[in-house]
Amino acid sequence: MTGSKNYKSWIKYAENDLAVANDLQLQKDYVFQAVVLHCQQAVEKLIKAYLLYHNKKLIYTHDLLILCKLCSEVDETFKSFEDALNELSLSYRGARYPDDFEDLDLQDANNALKIADQFQKFISLKFDSYNA
């Protein structure tokens, strides 16, 4: 699963997740957990696309901080997102596993969308052919 040829598929799936999160937010009484889940998935897929783009082996984790640190080995500017991605990872756990976490709310969903949007803009500049 290494090699730059596969990274575009990961970007496309990430864009789909972010589109779903944004569409959900527009609905009345939307489910906050679903928005957070799709935002986290979008960021995770963008990171994995970046790793593939640089011929790195993917690891199977949902922890954005771990994945971000792998990207930082290629480009140190990823370190600027560590706190935000750690926060999104924690919210994601709350979206998937409610037993040990408080319910997510509007602020959590809005924050997840903000992080995902900022990260998408940041990482899109890292690919030579992001929109190709």
Question: What was the pLDDT predicted at 73?
Answer: 94
Q: Could you tell me if residue 57 is left (phi over 0), alpha (psi between -120 and 50 degrees) or otherwise beta? A: beta
Backbone angles phi and psi of 17, in degrees to 5: -60, -45
pTM over 0.85: yes
| For range 41-59, the mean pLDDT | 93
Q: Of 41, 23, 37, 42, which Cα lies nearest the Cα of 108?
A: 37
For the cut 80, the answer to whether the pLDDT of residue 30 exceeds it is no
Is-contact 14 46, C-beta < 8 A? yes
**Spatial distance between the Cα atoms of 75 and 2, rounded to a whole number of angstroms:** 18
Helices (H), the chain: 7-26, 32-53, 64-72, 82-96, 106-124
Question: What was the pLDDT predicted at 100?
Answer: 61
Tell me the two tokens of residue 79: 């370190």
Question: What was the pLDDT predicted at 132?
Answer: 46
For the cut 80, the answer to whether the pLDDT of residue 77 exceeds it is yes
